[in-house]
Amino acid sequence: MFHWLFGKTIKKHLKKELSSINKVLDNSFSNIKQDFLNMHGRVSFHDKNYENILRRLERLEDHLLKITSPISQKYEREVDEGEFSPKILESEWSSLTERQKDILKVLARLQFEGGKEWISLKQLVDDMYHDKNYDDIRPLVSSYISILVEHNLAKKKRVGKQLFVSLSEKSQSYISKFPESKKKKMLRLQKEVD
C-alpha cells in the first residue's frame, strides 16, 4: 500500500547494501587469486630445489660408486679365490650383539657335541634358556636367527612345523680360525654360562 511512497528508498537501500557486499566479494576473490599465484610460485621454487637436490644426489652416488668399486672388487676377488679376509670377519663379528654371538657359540657347541649339522630351534632354545618356557622365548631367538641369516652367519630350514638352524660356511670358517685351545675354552665357558 505504501509501496509507491517508500519504493525509491528501499531500492536505494538495497543497492547500497548490495554494492558493499559486491566490493567485499570482489576483494575476497582477488585475495584468493593472489594466494593461488603465491602458491604456484612456491611450488615452482620447490620444483627447482628438488631438481637441484636430485642432481647433487646423483653426483654423490657416482662419487661413492667410484670410491667403493675398488673395495668391492677386492672383496669379490678374495671370495672368488675362496679366502675370507680375517679383518672383514672380525669386523662382522664385532658388529654382532653379545646375544647373537652367544647363539653362534651355542650352535657351534651343539654341532660339535652332537655331530649333527642341523640343530632344532627347540634344542637351541632349551640349551640357552633352560629355565624359560619355549613358547615364550621362541620368537626372540627366531628374530636373532633371522638377523644371523641376513649376515650369512647361519642357515635355517623348516621341516614341517619345526625350524632347524646350522652354522653357515662363513661362520664355520671364522670359528675354525680360533686356535684349538681357544675353541675348547669357548665351549667350556659356554657350558659354564648355561
Q: For residue range 20-74, what is the model confidence (pLDDT) as tens digits?
A: 888 989 999 999 999 888 888 887 777 788 888 888 988 888 888 887 776 656 5
Give the number of other Cβ atoms within 10 Å of residue 74's Cβ: 11
Last residue of a domain, one of 64, 82, 100: 82
Domain match, 92 and 175 both: yes
Domain match, 14 and 50 both: yes
Separation between Cα atoms, residue 128 and residue 123, nearest integer Å:
9
pLDDT value of residue 111? 84
Domain match, 76 and 99 both: no
Q: Give the global pTM.
A: 0.47
Domain membership of residue 13 as a residue range? 1-82
120: left (phi over 0), alpha (psi -120 to 50) or beta: beta
Lowest mean pLDDT among 6-10, 48-52, 57-61, 167-171: 6-10
CATH code of the domain covering residue 106: 1.10.10.10
Domain match, 90 and 175 both: yes
Domain match, 115 and 77 both: no
Cell of 124: 637351541
Domain match, 123 and 188 both: yes
Lowest mean pLDDT among 12-16, 25-29, 72-76, 152-156: 72-76
Separation between Cα atoms, residue 37 and residue 149, nearest integer Å:
55
Domain match, 54 and 135 both: no
User: Which secondary-structure segment (H or E) carries 36?
Assistant: helix 3-80
Separation between Cα atoms, residue 56 and residue 139, nearest integer Å:
43
Domain match, 184 and 112 both: yes
Domain match, 50 and 128 both: no
Domain match, 24 and 11 both: yes
Separation between Cα atoms, residue 74 and residue 79, nearest integer Å:
9
Domain match, 112 and 189 both: yes
Domain match, 120 and 155 both: yes
Cell of 138: 621362541
Number of domains in the chain: 2
- Cβ-contact 165, 121 below 8 angstroms: yes
